[in-house]
Structure 1
Amino acid sequence: MDQLLAMRVFARVVESGGFSKAADALNMPRPSVTKLVQALEAHLQVRLLNRTTRRVALTSDGAAYYERSTRLLAELDELEASVGNARVNPRGRLRVDVSSTLADMVLLPSLPGFLARYPDLQVELSIGDRIVDLVGDNVDCAIRGGELEDSTLVARRIAELPWVTCASPDYLRRHGTPATPDDLARGHFGIGYLLAHSGRVATLDLARGDERLTLRLPHRVLVNDAQAAVVAACAGLGVVQTLRFMAQPHIDAGKLQPIVEHWSGSPLPFHVVYPQNRHLSARLRVFVDWVAELFAQHPYTRPA
């Protein structure tokens, strides 16, 4: 048995949720995947997986082995990436956690250029708004907005993105165009946005110089996705406060119109964050550099 290969196959079975999906991802015959995992269990003399006809699940021994083995595999990958030709041509898999909006509007459209530059890299995007445990979920890095709370992560600030408050021309024809926050607070509806980390509805935060205001507009529509909030505003369902890069394509198309422009929220910092034990990875280093370059050059994310 090739123990290192068996460990990699076992990890992929766990991550994909089944033998067939792991075989497809690894481009291996399913019987080979099954035999490698069985051989690993025989070598360790423990059962790693409970199998049913519909799914596989880790045993307690399997969960402990998966956690330790994936860290070992990551360290081996980093060791290979840190020597020789890997510094020039990094290779291997890179797992990145990112919000759906950043993935759709910024990363994915530009990713072909990155992969052309580094053809031996494979990028796996974990897309969602929940805060993942980078170490526990075996994620190499994440792109996060806001101030950071986890001091155990290494962070590189890549941008400070401005906010914009806007509504559709149709909505403004029906409700009037507010010139001040007081106008906005009287007779206007917001798009309710449910924050994933707190379960609360986001407030509308405005700033002008040293003045700070927080408004809670009534809403008739509540969503839990930032891009859906922008789409709802385009449909005339209310006022939305969102990051400028998300709204700008719709502003350019005439679907949204900025309002109370002299009042805006404080710019939102964005960072690439990664666990401290992965800072030597060549593939991680080139990705972080590329993301910083991308944000600096992207027409909707670079500083105004």
Structure 2
Amino acid sequence: MDKLHAMRVFVRVVEANSFSKAADTLGLPRASVTTTIQNLEASLGVRLLQRTTRRLNLTLDGAAYLEGANRILSELEELESTFTTASKMPRGRLRVDMPGAIGRLVIIPSIHEFHQQYPEIDVMIGLSDRPIDLIQEGVDCVIRLGRLEDSSLVARRIGAMQQVTCASPEYLAARGAPQTIADLENHVAVNYFGSRTGRTVNMCFQSDGETIEVPMKSVVSVNDADAYVTCGLEGLGLFQPGRFMVLPHLRSGALREVLRDWRPPPKPISAVYPQNRHLSPKVRVFVDWLVELFERCPLLQGEDEGDEVCATGRLDRPAPAPELETETTCDCVA
């Protein structure tokens, strides 16, 4: 029996808490995963997992074996990664998840560049606004927006998203354009609520270092970024999308920015991955590529820089300094 293979299968089964999910993420038949665990237990002479109809539970021996297996596999991966050279490119399947708007408008249009640099990496891109359990779903890396708090995941800051407060001309003609924060009492918003919490995200404004959150009345609330923009275009209220999502509509006049002196603060964009795993070469090069992509992407520039880049191709906006943070699930529009 290949003990290293058996260790990897065992760790994946525990992480996914399911034989079938582990089989899917490993690309193996379920029967093969079951047989591998049975053979491993027979070889060790102990029971590693207690199986019930609803879940798997580690035995005491299983917990001890898991700790040792994780340590061995991490050390092996780290050792192998030290021999990765320019002539031995990172390879394998890379599963990433990201907000739909960022994926469609920023990353996917440039993913061919990443493939040209790393042709042996097969990128699987999931587009969703829902929270992702990286361990359970076998995802290597996720892109998330907003402030990140303590958890078992680590994040690297890769960029920032500028936001605007805007509305359709029809809505503004009917209600008037707000001139101050106090004027918002006479307005309604398209509200965005988090898929995980169901909590409505307040509108946020910043000026001269002062930040104000304003809860808004609404006639409709959504939890999807594309639907959020569509509702704004249909005149259902004020809303605060990422500027890159509505830049063509602002230029065409289909949307108009309001409260320019109280613009929303930028939202950090982070690449998030588990901290209990060695950062594999394929994840590392993908995150490095994202940093470079976000630095030069015209859609993520500020108003003046973005317009000039689109007109001239000049790329002179510095990238945000990479930062390490810990991650929490955040309810953000993207």
Q: TM-score range by the shorter chain?
A: 0.7 to 0.9
Distance 2:4 2:32 in 1: 14
- The DSSP-based 3-state class of the residue aligned with 1:237 is coil
CA distance 1:8–1:172, shift in 2 (3 Å): same
Letter in 1 for 2:176: G
How many angstroms does 1:131 deviate by? 6.1
Task: Please say which of residues 255-264 and 97-106 is displaced more in the overlay.
Answer: 97-106
CA distance 1:158–1:66, shift in 2 (3 Å): same
Match of 1:50 in 2: 51
- The DSSP-based 3-state class of the residue aligned with 1:85 is coil
Distance 1:132 1:149 in 2: 16
Match of 1:109 in 2: 109
Instruction: Please give the residue correspondences for 1:94-243 in structure 2 after superposition, counting only pairs within 5 Å.
Output: 94-125=94-125, 128-129=128-129, 140-150=140-150, 155-186=155-186, 188-195=187-194, 199-210=198-209, 212-243=211-242
Aligned CA RMSD, in angstroms, stands at: 3.8
Instruction: Please give the residue correspondences for 1:259-298 in structure 2 after superposition, counting only pairs within 5 Å.
Output: 259-274=258-273, 281-298=280-297
Match of 1:59 in 2: 57
Distance 1:230 1:74 in 2: 43
State whether residues 9 and 36 of structure 1, in contact with CA within 8 Å, keep that contact through their aligned partners in structure 2: yes
Count how many residue pairs are aligned between Structure 1 and Structure 2: 299
Distance 2:253 2:98 in 1: 28
Distance 2:271 2:176 in 1: 40
- The DSSP-based 3-state class of the residue aligned with 1:183 is helix
State whether residues 162 and 266 of structure 1, in contact with CA within 8 Å, keep that contact through their aligned partners in structure 2: yes
CA distance 1:197–1:11, shift in 2 (3 Å): same
- The DSSP-based 3-state class of the residue aligned with 1:164 is coil
How many angstroms does 1:218 deviate by? 0.8
State whether residues 185 and 215 of structure 1, in contact with CA within 8 Å, keep that contact through their aligned partners in structure 2: no
Alignment TM-score, normalising by the size of structure 2 = 0.71
CA distance 1:63–1:6, shift in 2 (3 Å): same
CA distance 1:8–1:250, shift in 2 (3 Å): farther
CA distance 1:218–1:108, shift in 2 (3 Å): same
How many angstroms does 1:221 deviate by? 1.1
CA distance 1:131–1:237, shift in 2 (3 Å): same
How many angstroms does 1:238 deviate by? 1.2
Distance 1:255 1:71 in 2: 56
CA distance 1:70–1:93, shift in 2 (3 Å): farther
How many angstroms does 1:298 deviate by? 1.7
Alignment TM-score, normalising by the size of structure 1 = 0.77
How many angstroms does 1:25 deviate by? 5.8
Distance 2:182 2:198 in 1: 27
Letter in 2 for 1:90: P
Structure 1 segments unaligned to the other structure (5+ residues)? none
Provide, for residues 256-294 of structure 1, a one-character-per-residue CA deviation record: whole Å limited to 9, x for no partner.
Answer: 322222320222222334455656643232112101011
Distance 1:67 1:226 in 2: 40
CA distance 1:228–1:68, shift in 2 (3 Å): farther
